[in-house]
């Protein structure tokens, strides 16, 4: 009985919060392999070989990063939704985002350090798998 009550409560909260959450975020689409590759080439050219600047350029243009908020954990989780660990992934991204925001002065260093933090575990494995899939599409 308690499980049913909890499920109903969660459903009601989702119905209430869902529209607010959707209205609060602009429409965002998963990036295509072609768009990602095009943006990556552009960022390589404009970053003058600096990895932190290249990463920040890439994630910013993909809509995954802002200098004000850092990484958008929801959008990153959407990319890896097939792994069915959305909440855990969002916690890792938000933890690394917050930790590195306090430690870093410049946005590019913040983006790079948070990326290194978040990809040190399972997310890193998923990201390498995602990159292989994107390269196979070429």
Domain ranges of the chain: 27-137
The architecture CATH gives domain 27-137 = Orthogonal Bundle (1.10)
Residues in Cβ contact with 93 at an 8 Å cutoff, skipping those fewer than 6 apart: 71, 73, 76, 77, 114, 118, 123
- Which pLDDT does position 78 carry in this prediction? 87
Question: Using one digit for the tens of pLDDT, what is the confidence trace for 39-92?
Answer: 999 999 998 889 999 999 999 999 999 999 999 999 998 887 776 778 888 999
């Amino acid at each position: 009985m308690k499980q049913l009550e909890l499920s109903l409560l969660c459903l009601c909260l989702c119905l209430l919060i869902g529209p607010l959450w959707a209205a609060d975020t602009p429409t965002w689409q998963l990036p295509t392999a072609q768009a990602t590759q095009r943006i990556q080439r552009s960022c390589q050219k404009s970053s003058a070989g600096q990895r932190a600047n290249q990463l920040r350029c890439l994630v910013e243009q993909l809509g995954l990063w802002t200098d004000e908020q850092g990484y958008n954990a929801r959008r990153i989780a959407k990319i890896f939704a097939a792994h069915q660990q959305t909440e855990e992934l969002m916690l890792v991204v938000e933890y690394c985002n917050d930790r590195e925001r306090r430690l870093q002065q410049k946005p590019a260093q913040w983006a790079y350090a948070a990326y290194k933090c978040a990809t040190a575990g399972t997310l890193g494995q998923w990201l390498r798998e995602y990159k292989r899939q994107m390269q196979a599409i070429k």
